[in-house]
Amino acid sequence: MIEIPERWLQELRDAPETGMGYQIVSVTLHDGRRYDQVIVDSGYITRVRHTVGIPFEASEIAGIVVTHDKWDFNAERREK
CA distance 69 to 57: 22
CA distance 42 to 23: 9
> Does pLDDT of 77 surpass 90?
no
Residue, of 64 and 73, whose pLDDT is higher: 64
pLDDT score, position 70:
80
What pTM, to 2 d.p., does this model score? Answer: 0.86
CA distance 57 to 67: 21
CA distance 75 to 77: 5
> Largest Cα–Cα distance in the chain?
36
pLDDT score, position 71:
76
Any idea where the domains of the chain sit in the sequence? 2-79
> Does pLDDT of 32 surpass 60?
yes
pLDDT-derived band at 60, boundaries 50, 70, 90: very high
